[in-house]
Each structure stands twice: as C-alpha cells, then as structure tokens.
Structure 1
Amino acid sequence: MAPPGGAVLQVVRPAAGGIRRHVIQLAAGLPERGWTVEVAAPPGFALEDAALPHPPPVHLIPIGSRLNPGEDLRAASILRRLGGRCDVGHAHGLRAAWVASLAFGRRKPWLFTAHNLAPPAGLAARIAVRTALGRAAAVVAVSRAAALSLAPLGMPPSRVHVIPNGVDVRRFARGPDRREACRALGVPESAPLVAALGRLSWEKGFDVLIAAAPRILRACPDARIVVAGTGPAEAELRAAAATADAAGRILLPGWLPDASVLLASADVAVVPSREEGQGIAALEAMGAGAPVVASRTGGLPETVVDGETGFLVKPGDPAALADAVLRVLSDEALGARMGQAGRRRAESEFNLDLMLDSLAALYSRLAPSTTA
C-alpha cells in the first residue's frame, strides 16, 4: 500500500550550507514517500544548481535574518496565501519559525526544525521565539545538543523530536577517485590529503585549521590542506593561508560542485567548528569513509565517536587539532579502521532514508486527513 502523503511547504530563512542541503534532500526524497514539496524562501535561495529531477516551485518571501516587524508581517501574509496549497508547513531556523507562526498560528499544522544551536537572545527575540514555538504543532532538532539549546527559550527537551540529518552513502559507492581529485586540485597524488569543507564563516573555525597548518606541515611536509567552500570569511582565510608558513600547501579552491570526490580521497577530514548543531560535513566525511577530526562542541560528539570514527578536540585549539590530525596521518591502519567505522555508523545511524522516513511519518501525524 502506498504511504500516506500530501503537500508540504518548506519555509526557509536566509541560508546557505547545511539548511540548503537539507531542503534539497527533502525536495528529492519526499515525493517518493507521497509528499509533494514547495518552497517559500527569500531572494537568493536558489535550487537550480541542485540537479533535482523535479525541482519544486520556489516562492519568494521577504524574510530577513533579523526581526523586522513590517517585513515579517508582509512575509507572513504571502506565506498565509501559500499555505492554502499545502497540508503541512515546515519551517527551518528560528526566523522562519517566527514568520510561520505569524502566518499559520494554530490554524494550520506546522513544525519547526532547529538546525543550529539557539543563540543567546535579547528580551524581544526571546518573546518572539517562545511565541513561535508555542504555536508549532511539533518541534524537531537535528541533535540532542540543539534540542537542549531550546530549553532557555521555553521548549523542554522532552517535547522535541530529535531527527538527525541524513547522508546518502550511495553517493560514495563508486569508491574514491583520488587521481581525479588530486588532478582537479593540482596536488600530487601521493600527498597526504587533509580536507575540510563548508561555509567559510567564523563559527565554522577554519581559521583554527589554518593556524594548525604549520604544526601539521612541519611533521608531515608533503601534506596538502584543502579548505573548500565560500562565505564571508573567505578573504580573511585566504590572507591567513598566504602568510602561514605553508609554502602553498594550504589550498582554498572555493565551492566544489562535487565535494564527495574530495572527501572520498581525503586521508583525514577536519571539522574545526566553534559551534555546530550537528555537522553535515562530518556526516558526509563519514559516509565517504574518511576518519574525522572534529571539535568537541554542539552536536558533533553525537556524530563523531572519539577514538572510534575519529578524534574530538577542544574547540579553538590549533595545537590539539594539529596533534589529532597527525595521529591519523602517521598511522595508516588507524585511519583505515576509523574510516570504515565511520561509514558503518553513517549507514546505520545517519542514513538519509531514516531521516526522510521519520519526517514523512511526522508530517502524516500532523495532518491526519492525509491518511484517509
């Protein structure tokens, strides 16, 4: 029997990186589970480059990154009209949740996903968030850490559904093509490859990896450190890489259309975040079979098992980060064991199908008329 389904409207705040990838996964996987997808997002949120077989309609709404009563009410008015086309609304991020609460209230079932740790907020923001969460039919967090961060905003962790992000391990099934990755990056195929990728912003901590690079390269002079991505800290990171004692061995190739090739070719993947809701980059690295060195912060300890699938280190500590990377690079058998364990963990605990099935089931519970 076909699974129950309906129509879901994904409501997105200004976002790049993890939230955007998450929405792309939903747009690709939910139709197979009976749910059609539409997206309401601010200008600049595009899915044209996502290679989706059936791209969903994207409706533009003027939702910004900060509270703006006039714009928020205008966005809510548009969203309310779009809501007539859907059975369930799904807001991603606290700003999207606030606008969804204005648009839907309790008249239409909608849920909110916390992708990141809730930041400290002033009184007005706390009141807005508390109001929004109180109107949501369900609250989801991508990790226990993200769920706990909502408690000061009036949402007890016991009321939060923890549904981790998922990774499509099938992307890496063909195995690593190291030659292809090294040729594209312009590095020797024999060079130990340290890979990091994500949005180049302060909270991702890529400056910590660049600060750790001299210590890594003194011990392993043939290594190459690749930091892939774009973002507001890109110029600063390029300047730091140019002045580091690295002789051109720190590479910032920008955005990569297929990061899976880089991850599958990496000897170690690094996730040096200062704060992290869960860490999609860590999940993808594990799916690719790469050992992961990550910060012990936010949801990363729920993803990376210290000493088994990689190592966890103190956030913002270049020396500790370098030493953990060198432990992996200096022991090929250890790196292989950790990579295999990480892939098994990604397949069993963070499989994309598990995430999609859990969300589709939650949608059906919120919109029981779709089961008729």
Structure 2
Amino acid sequence: MNKILLIPEFSSSGGTRSYFIYLLKFYSSQNYDVAIALSKYQLDNEIELLIKHYKYKIYIIPGRREGVKIFLRYFPLNLIFDIFTTFPLFLKERPNLIVVSNGTPGMFIGLILFPVRFMYIFHTYPLKSKIIGLSIIQKLFLNLCLNANKAVVTVSEYSKLQILSYWVPKKKANCIHVIYNSAKNPPLVECTNYDENTTIYRVLTLGHVVWYKNPRLWIEVAQKVIRQKRDMQLEFIWAGEGNLLEECKDLVKQLGLESIKFIGYREDVDALYNNSTLYFQPSLLESHGISVVEAMAHGLPCVTSNAGGLPESVVNGETGIICSPEDAECFISQIIKLLEDDKLRCKMSYSGKLRAKNRFSEEVQYKKMKDLHTSLLHK
C-alpha cells in the first residue's frame, strides 16, 4: 500500500480548506495509507471528525502564525523551519510520496529536499511585488531540486505562467501540471423559461472579504445597480469572512442600503446558489475561482473580472460577461443587461452548466489527480 504524508495549509474557510477536504476523500478512494501534519489552529471539529472518519493519522506540528512569523518571511529561514518540523515525521512514516497543499508561495517547499517523491499543490501564484528579491534564490533552489519525481500542481494556465515567470525556471515547465478545481454538477436540464412570478433578484458573491476580491468596487456597483433598477426588488449578497468584513458592513450601513448584505461565512452554499439570479466576482487577483465554477454548475450566469484564471472558467458572452476589474461601469451595465433579459440569462445558464460538466467536473479532476499520482508513485 502506498503511503502519503500530507501537509496542508488552510484557514477556517475558503478554497484551500475545500481542497484539503477533497484530498481526504480522494486518498480514501485510492486506498492510500495517509498521515497528515497539521497545526493546532487547523484542527477544528469538522476537520477532526473527517480525519477520524477516514481513519488517517494526525501529527501536530508548530504553526507559523505567532511570534516566528516575521522571521519566516525569509526563504532560508522558511527552509530550515520546513525541514526541522517535518523531517522527524518523514523518518517515522517513510512515505512513498509527500504532498503539500497550500496557497502561500514557498511554504513547505523545503520538503522537496527529502529523498522521496514530492507533489506541491499550489492554489495561487507568486506576485512579482511580493516575491521580488526572493525569486533568484527560489529559482536557483527549484532549478536544482525539481525533476521527474517532483511535481508542482497549479489550478490554471494563468497561474502556471506566473509560476514560470517569477518562481520556477522555464526549462522545468514539464514539472508543472494544471489541474482545475471542480464542482458538483446538478442534473443538466435545459433552461426553457424563468419563473415569471420572481419577486426578488439576487446577485451573489462568495469568498473572503479581502482587498484582492475588490469589495469596495463591489459595493459601488451594487449601490448604482440598485438605484438604477428601482423597478426591481434586488439584493446583493456577499457570503464569506475576511479582514475587511466589518469595514464593509459599516460602509453599507452608512449608505443606508439594506439590500446590500455581507452575511459572513455560510455552510449552506448550495441554497445560496439555488436562490440567486446572477453571480458577480470583480476580483483584482484570482488563480482560478472555485466559486465561479460552482456558480456555473448551478446555472448562474457569471459577471466577473478578467483577472488571473477567471477567463479560463467564464467564456465571455457565452457563460457570462467579463469586465476589467477597475471598470465599474462595465459591471453595472452588464449586470443590468442580464437582469433585464430572461432569455439571455437562460441561454448562459445552460451553457455554464455544460461547461462546468465538461471541463470542471469532479470526474475530470479525479482522473487527472489519479493519473498524476500513479505516474509519480510508479516511476
């Protein structure tokens, strides 16, 4: 039986957490022997119950959130931290494959040094403004270590290009594998007519309320759409936590618009999708956008920015509309256009479901993950 040592980074919500839960299910389907290294803050009730359900081993390792965090911004110290916190686990478990899943450039990349097959699943991409000065060190390091037994997995072609630009030498491009995030696909039923008795039109957004999700522009767009469409009963809903959540709530309160709602973290995301009319995501940065894929799978036309990997999900004019992340007027006009045109929404709804099924389904992701694991483990 193949042994996996899994070292994930994730917070209380978001895509990296969802992906970790996906990995638990995937490894169970492959009958792998799995040991997981977590920090205490990650081991909440849900995660603990899932790990017990799948009967995986748990090891608690030091976290990076407290005092040492400042020093660990430097790549050499990161490398030392990685090795000293995980090498005892490596000696104890003797895994066939180490898998790191995270969204922070460089975190636990030091494990690539261990004499074992290695997979680095990277949910974002290195920003030039953040990585400048480290890129030379990291490129040299990865140039020496990446080989046929060491793979980097990312979630979009855009993300792959950024990794090759700022992080991994281009001659190592064959070590980088693109595997898109997936969504559960409801039955593919062609939309024929929207309910004429619809009284509330909801525009939905899911994700962390942080700067790169562009919440201030989102509020501006929501405010202007509501004022221009007084003949419609509209709601703009943002579900998710983040360091700008309270600030955004206060701003909406000052505007006096009860139809704009920041509702915090929600577990009933399927109900949110099913009760919404459109999906709206004006991100400044986005590696792929799992919520956009989920929205398409639920038949929601998507109005998004052209940032990062979003155009790989949304086909402009077919499954949704794409605007520049700074162009509030584009978002306003296109959201209004879709709200007013039932037939266009219906057409995009079906096209989005079809694209999600063919390109971003769990079956597609499962096959690619299985093929990559098989390739590494049997070399």
TM-score by length of 1: 0.85
Q: Structure 1 30/287 Cα, relative in aligned 2: closer, same or farther at 3 Å?
A: farther
CA distance in 2, matches of 1:279, 1:238: 23
**Alignment-mate amino acid for residue 361 of structure 2:** N
**Alignment-mate amino acid for residue 80 of structure 1:** F
Q: Partner of 1:138 in structure 2?
A: 151
CA offsets per residue over residues 321-361 of structure 1, 9 Å max, x none?
A: 12121111111121121111111111110111221221222
CA distance in 2, matches of 1:320, 1:300: 16
Q: Structure 1 240/158 Cα, relative in aligned 2: closer, same or farther at 3 Å?
A: farther
Q: Structure 1 130/55 Cα, relative in aligned 2: closer, same or farther at 3 Å?
A: farther
For residue 150 of structure 1, give the secondary structure of its aligned residue in structure 2: helix
Give structure 2 stretches of 5+ with no counterpart: 190-196
Pair 1:160 & 2:176 matched: yes
1:298-317 equivalences under 5 Å are: 298-317=308-327
1:1-372 equivalences under 5 Å are: 6-13=2-9, 15=11, 16-46=13-43, 48-49=45-46, 52=50, 53-54=53-54, 56-64=56-64, 66-67=72-73, 73-84=80-91, 85=93, 86-93=95-102, 95=104, 97-101=106-110, 103-120=111-128, 121-124=131-134, 126-128=136-138, 130-132=140-142, 134-136=144-146, 137-152=150-165, 153-156=167-170, 157-170=173-186, 190-221=199-230, 222-244=233-255, 247-368=257-378
**Alignment-mate amino acid for residue 232 of structure 1:** N
CA distance in 2, matches of 1:367, 1:278: 27
Q: Tell me, yes or no, if the aligned pair for 1:200 and 1:234 is still in contact at 8 Å.
A: yes
Q: Tell me, yes or no, if the aligned pair for 1:11 and 1:40 is still in contact at 8 Å.
A: yes
**Alignment-mate amino acid for residue 145 of structure 2:** R
CA distance in 2, matches of 1:36, 1:310: 42
Deviates more, 1:48-57 or 1:12-21: 48-57
Instruction: Give how far 1:132 is off.
Output: 4.3
Q: Structure 1 155/113 Cα, relative in aligned 2: closer, same or farther at 3 Å?
A: farther
Deviates more, 1:220-229 or 1:106-115: 106-115
Q: Tell me, yes or no, if the aligned pair for 1:117 and 1:275 is still in contact at 8 Å.
A: no
CA offsets per residue over residues 35-60 of structure 1, 9 Å max, x none?
A: 34433233322363267453744433
CA distance in 1, matches of 2:105, 2:374: 21
Deviates more, 1:91-100 or 1:80-89: 91-100
Aligned identity (percent) is 22
Deviates more, 1:67-76 or 1:324-333: 67-76
Give structure 1 stretches of 5+ with no counterpart: 175-187
Instruction: Give how far 1:239 is off.
Output: 1.8
Q: Tell me, yes or no, if the aligned pair for 2:16 and 2:103 is still in contact at 8 Å.
A: no
CA distance in 1, matches of 2:204, 2:318: 19
CA-atom RMSD, angstroms?
A: 2.7
For residue 126 of structure 2, give the secondary structure of its aligned residue in structure 1: coil
Deviates more, 1:30-39 or 1:134-143: 30-39
CA distance in 1, matches of 2:259, 2:107: 45
TM-score by length of 2: 0.83
For residue 44 of structure 1, give the secondary structure of its aligned residue in structure 2: helix
Q: Tell me, yes or no, if the aligned pair for 1:194 and 1:269 is still in contact at 8 Å.
A: yes
For residue 30 of structure 1, give the secondary structure of its aligned residue in structure 2: helix
Q: Structure 1 229/90 Cα, relative in aligned 2: closer, same or farther at 3 Å?
A: same
For residue 315 of structure 2, give the secondary structure of its aligned residue in structure 1: coil
Q: Tell me, yes or no, if the aligned pair for 1:97 and 1:133 is still in contact at 8 Å.
A: no
Q: Tell me, yes or no, if the aligned pair for 2:10 and 2:102 is still in contact at 8 Å.
A: no
